[in-house]
Structure 1
Amino acid sequence: MIRAAAATLSRPALAALGGFAAVSAVHLIAQLAGADGIANVSQWFLMPLLALVLLLAAPAPRQRSVTLTLIALGFSWLGDTAPDLTGGDAAFLVMIGFFLLAQLAYIAAFWPYRGAVRRSAVLGYAVAVAGLFAACASGAGALLVPALIYGVCLGAMAALSTGVGAVAAVGGALFLVSDSMIALGAFADWFDPPASGLLIMSTYIAGQLLLTAGVLAAARATASTPVVTSSAGR
């Protein structure tokens, strides 16, 4: 499905997508190799390139969902980069703060599709967030409340993404998985999977890509739908 969507992109959008794919590959290889410097620098360019793909591929006039997704990608970029300017708990709070703003932007982007969200999705994500909170509560300390607020918004974003379409739904789930691993790594001593950086970033990159692709597909579908006007009174 992603390949079919890519085939409809303009050359500039395809070039931006190719750049995103190349930087993603460099970043993930660096994560696997433990090359922290390369991984850190390459992460700075991921969200700007993905935003550029959406900007170039979205139909005109730009729809509200596309604008809000661009804003979400912008806040995600800040969440990726701003923590480099500080350290310790402050860096974690800065990251949570910017990604919270990203989740709120995604929630606003997906809100018009809420009618297509099934109750089972809401219940499932509510259970997932509750389980994550329970797993992290004992180790979160002073960060418990910010983590809870972020978790609720993350779950709401993932649930609402199911209304946009199947592609966005998978993206929302992967984003939740990625952030759940970050939370467990920070707050749960028992969580220490091998290649955790690779797992976190691969699910994050895939999640953001699929959310963007889902929003783009929904925007194109809306743009191609003919407007029906009434002939009454003519």
Structure 2
Amino acid sequence: MIPRRPLARALLAVFPVLVAAHLAVQLLGAESWARPTQVLLMPALALAVLAAAERPRRRPVALLLVALFFSWLGDALPAPAGGDTAFLLMVGGFLAAQLVYAFAFWPYRRRSALFHRRWLLAPYLGAVAALVWLCAPHAGGLLLPVLAYGLVLGLMAVLATGVGAWAAAGGALFLASDSLIALRAFVPGFALPQDGFWVMAGYCAAQACIALGVLQRANGRPAEHSLPR
């Protein structure tokens, strides 16, 4: 998985360095540095994917890069906006990313919890249902986009279980991270100490795990820990 070329190794090292820097900014509360470091994360991960992907690059890798682009839009577009507009821009970018991820994972659906060990659907369905139940009374005019995003996010996380263990972990982490954002935005009185740190830690780990899972599949390595047939 780790390429031998020095340039490729250097590109792979950029993402974890930027993640560490951004998480440090979150812990220190240096708000003026939070957005500049955040918008660099997904381009750095995309470079790492390009460095690690074997050639010719297969369809899952192309879709992964598209999803990372939309994720970057979700990170970057809200910056000049404010209020509900910023929130909708963020949701729009990440909704597009989740749809692309779901499309990329769809060919592996028969290995996923949709068809095997269906009892695993329970925690995903429960998490999405609980999130909607908690947030809906306070979402107001944002209810429909929040509901749509929650359903697509849950579908993506379930489909990720068919790709392999890394992608499944990434889907679950994405669900957890975005749930924290929704709870913070809509549930009165909800507050988690250093919530920005935990949201971004989960988000970065989710994207990295999904990328690793997709690369394993695309590079022809079996995902031994995907759900059995």
For 2:36, which of 26, 41, 59 is the aligned residue?
Answer: 41
* Cα distance in 1 for residues equivalent to 2:58 and 2:219: 10
Q: Is the 8 A contact 2:12 2:51 kept in 1?
A: no
1:112 aligns with: 107
Equivalence map 1:42-81=2 (5 Å): 42-81=37-76
2: CA distance between counterparts of 1:46 and 1:144?
29
Deviation of the 1:125 alpha carbon: 1.2
Q: Distance in 2 between matches of 1:39 and 1:77?
A: 14
Say yes or no: does 1:136 pair with 2:131: no
Which residue identity does 2:196 align to in structure 1?
G
- Report the Cα distance in structure 2 between the residues aligned to 1:13 and 1:79, rounded to whole angstroms: 27
Q: 1:91 aligns with which of 56, 75, 86?
A: 86
Across the aligned residues of Structure 1 and Structure 2, the Cα RMSD in angstroms comes to 1.4
Residue 163 of structure 2 aligns with which residue? 164
Provide the C-alpha distance between the structure 2 equivalents of 1:162 and 1:12, rounded to a whole number of angstroms. 32
Number of paired residues? 218
- Residue aligning to 1:229: none
1:196 match: 195
**In the alignment, which residue of structure 1 is the partner of 2:21?**
26
Letter in 1 for 2:207: Q
CA shift digits 1:177-204 (9 cap, x unpaired): 1100000000001320100000000000
Identity %: 50
Normalised by the size of structure 1, how large is the TM-score? Answer: 0.89
The equivalent position to 2:12 in structure 1, one of 13, 17, 27, is 17
Letter in 1 for 2:72: W
Taking the aligned partners of 1:57 and 1:148, their CA distance within structure 2 comes to 35
The whole-number CA distance in structure 2 between the counterparts of 1:198 and 1:9 is 33
In structure 2, what residue type is equivalent to 1:210?
A: C
Letter in structure 1 aligned against 2:92: G
Matched AA of 2:201: S
More helix by share: 1
Q: 1:50-92: per-residue Cα shift (whole Å, max 9, x none)?
A: 0111112112221111111100000000000010121110000
> Quick one: structure 1 residues 212 and 9, their matched pair in 2 at CA, closer, same or farther if it must change by over 3 Å?
farther
Structure 1 CA distance for aligned equivalents of residues 49 and 182 of structure 2: 29
Please list every run of at least 4 consecutive aligned residues from structure 1 whose deviation after the TM superposition is greater than 4 angstroms: none
TM-score, with structure 2 as normaliser: 0.91
Q: Name structure 1 gaps, 5 residues minimum.
A: 224-234
Q: CA deviation digits over 1:128-160, x for unaligned, max 9?
A: 111110011111111011000000000011011
Q: CA deviation at 1:9?
A: 5.7
Bigger-Rg structure (1/2): 1
| Equivalent residue number for residue 153 of structure 1 | 152
Instruction: Name the amino acid aligned to 2:211.
Output: T
**121-130 vs 176-185, which moves further:** 121-130
Q: CA deviation at 1:12?
A: 2.6
TM-superposed CA distance for 1:11, in Å, is: 3.0
CA distance in structure 2 between the partners assigned to 1:94 and 1:182 by the alignment: 14
| Conserved 8 A contact 1:26-1:39 | no
CA distance in 1, matches of 2:189, 2:220: 45
